[in-house]
């Protein structure tokens, strides 16, 4: 994954029935949605600025630490939350290179990144916590490594001109240039590589074949790829806004973000298709997001009750999710701040899906962890507001400004409510949804859905 510094740059209310009649249908299979418990991992002594750049399936994270003044140093966080500074590489004169960055880690614990002295940085690999080796000569950076040990990155071929590369792929013991990619950003265990061309067109490289991915306008970037080949990134719309998207079987899909934002992008995807990334409140001001089954939720809303409102997640331009559903990013608890890991806890009323999220078609809304056999209502609106009591259910606090009733259904014996609704073709745009369990008056975290016709 290319490092973030290289990336392109939420009264009295009544019920209003506004959607057509909805019909309860059978349960469909989808991954269980989770809440999260935040854990602040250790910070290296003497360092004030921390960035996390990747998270593997063992719960280990890598990134970079920086003093108020001085060089960057590559950091690894072990699964137990302890931190270790990765070794720095001596140059040909025996001097230790003072600056290093760790950008990618695989499930074997092998780490890649870059190191530099006074000259240009070079791509390096840490086979373990005690060893560092150079991969390439010349100005270069390694950004990702898969479980076969293949490495991708990019190198400078001329002044301010870059070219992607793959190292150690399919038995190769040397660097293979990716001539049509300016940047190579992510690689999965199938050897698929995604990135972008010089013209900022998102690209896929597979079996020595380059494929330009479709965009919403003219340009975009592919920054993440799942084990099964789902791709995430961003694409410019016709208006020039850069919005988060994913590509499934070569087809592009715009992902929901709140209204009045400046865009966003996907930075990682796991094997279940859960995506993590950011959206921009304004230029340079980031908020983090999790996308599941066409719904976007902020991690702060998904924290367990004991941490919600106390912990904050998302101070930084990236968020990383592994196949276990763990998430890594920056955050804090009001007393300390730094790098946090969110561990999934499968509890709490949660909206878990809105398929296929298209107007003019029948859609399915799913809710998990409701009272078995209990009544569940879905509310919707277009704007998030301050939490306000819902008079129909004492104790329920709704985060939607002027909420309206979409439907009421009944949860099955497993606590999952699955509801079908036909949405008229003229209903397009971004909407915020919340579910209410009438037996407990529990309210789900708010989630955004984008209703948009097929591209």
DSSP strands (E only) in 251-370: 251-254, 264-269, 275-282, 285-292, 295-297, 312-313, 320-321, 327-332, 337-345, 350-355, 361-368
The verdict on residue 378 lying in a domain is yes
Answer whether residue 64 shows pLDDT above 50: yes
In percent, the amount of the chain with pLDDT more than 70 equals 89
**172-214: per-residue pLDDT in tens?**
667 899 999 999 999 999 999 999 999 999 999 999 999 999 9
CATH number at residue 395: 2.60.40.1930
CA 333 to chain centre: 21
| Token pair 């699964």 in the structure block, residue | 79
The verdict on residue 342 lying in a domain is no
The verdict on residue 332 lying in a domain is no
- Residue 312 token pair: 């904050």
The verdict on residue 54 lying in a domain is no
Cβ atoms of 112 and 124 within 8 Å: the answer is: yes
The verdict on residue 423 lying in a domain is yes
The verdict on residue 321 lying in a domain is no
- The per-residue pLDDT of the chain, averaged, comes to 86
d(CA 233, CA 429): 20
DSSP letter string, 371-425:
PTT-EEEEEEESSEEEEEE-TTSTT-EEEESS-EEEEEEE--TTS-EEEEEEE-T
Instruction: Tell me how many domains the chain contains.
Output: 1
Q: How confident is the model at residue 97 (pLDDT cuts 50, 70, 90)?
A: low
**309-320: per-residue pLDDT in tens?**
899 887 666 899
The verdict on residue 400 lying in a domain is yes
CA distances from 239 to 217, 218, 277 (A): 8, 10, 22
d(CA 132, CA 407): 58
> Nearest Cα to 74, choosing from 100, 98, 37?
100
| Token pair 């270069």 in the structure block, residue | 140
Cβ atoms of 22 and 37 within 8 Å: the answer is: no
Q: What share of the chain is helix, strand, coil (3-state, %, to 5)?
A: 0, 50, 45
The verdict on residue 159 lying in a domain is no
Domain containing 398: what range?
Answer: 351-451
Model confidence pTM above 0.85 = yes
């Amino acid at each position: 994954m290319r490092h973030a510094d290289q990336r392109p740059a939420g009264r009295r209310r009544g019920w209003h029935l506004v959607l057509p009649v909805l019909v309860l249908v059978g349960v469909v299979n989808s991954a269980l949605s989770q809440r999260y418990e935040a854990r602040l991992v250790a910070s290296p002594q003497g360092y004030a600025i921390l960035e996390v750049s990747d998270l593997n399936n063992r719960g280990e994270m890598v990134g970079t630490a920086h003093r108020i003044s001085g060089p960057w140093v590559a950091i690894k966080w072990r699964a137990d939350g302890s931190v270790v500074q990765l070794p720095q590489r001596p140059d040909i004169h025996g001097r230790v290179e003072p600056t290093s960055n760790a950008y990618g880690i695989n499930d074997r614990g092998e780490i890649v990144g870059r190191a530099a002295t006074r000259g240009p940085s070079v791509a390096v690999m840490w086979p373990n916590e005690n060893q560092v080796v150079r991969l390439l000569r010349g100005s270069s950076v390694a950004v990702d490594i898969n479980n076969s040990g293949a490495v991708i990155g990019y190198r400078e071929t001329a002044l301010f001109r870059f070219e992607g590369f793959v190292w150690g792929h399919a038995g190769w013991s040397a660097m293979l240039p990716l001539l049509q990619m300016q940047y190579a950003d992510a690689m999965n265990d199938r050897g698929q590589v995604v990135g972008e061309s010089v013209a900022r067109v998102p690209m896929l490289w597979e079996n020595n074949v380059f494929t330009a991915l479709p965009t919403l306008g003219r340009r975009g970037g592919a920054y993440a790829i799942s084990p099964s080949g789902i791709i995430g990134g961003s694409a410019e719309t016709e208006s020039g806004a850069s919005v988060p998207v994913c590509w499934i079987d070569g087809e592009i899909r715009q992902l929901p973000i709140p209204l009045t934002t400046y865009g966003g992008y996907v930075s990682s995807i796991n094997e279940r298709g859960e995506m993590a990334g950011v959206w921009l409140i304004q230029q340079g001001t980031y908020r983090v997001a999790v996308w599941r089954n066409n719904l976007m939720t902020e991690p702060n809303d998904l924290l367990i009750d004991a941490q919600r409102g106390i912990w904050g997640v998302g101070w930084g331009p990236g968020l990383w999710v592994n196949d276990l559903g763990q998430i890594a990013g920056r955050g804090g608890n009001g007393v300390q701040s730094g790098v946090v890991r969110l561990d999934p806890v499968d509890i709490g009323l949660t909206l878990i899906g809105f398929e296929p999220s298209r107007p003019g078609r029948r859609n399915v809304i799913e809710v998990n962890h409701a009272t078995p056999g209990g009544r569940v209502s879905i509310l919707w609106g277009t704007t998030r507001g301050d939490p306000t009591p819902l008079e129909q259910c004492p104790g329920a606090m709704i985060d939607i400004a002027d909420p309206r009733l979409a439907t009421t259904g009944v949860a099955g014996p497993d606590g999952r409510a699955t509801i079908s609704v036909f949405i008229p073709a003229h209903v397009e745009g971004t909407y915020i949804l919340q579910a209410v369990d009438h037996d407990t008056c529990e309210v789900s975290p708010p989630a955004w859905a984008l209703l948009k016709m097929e591209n």
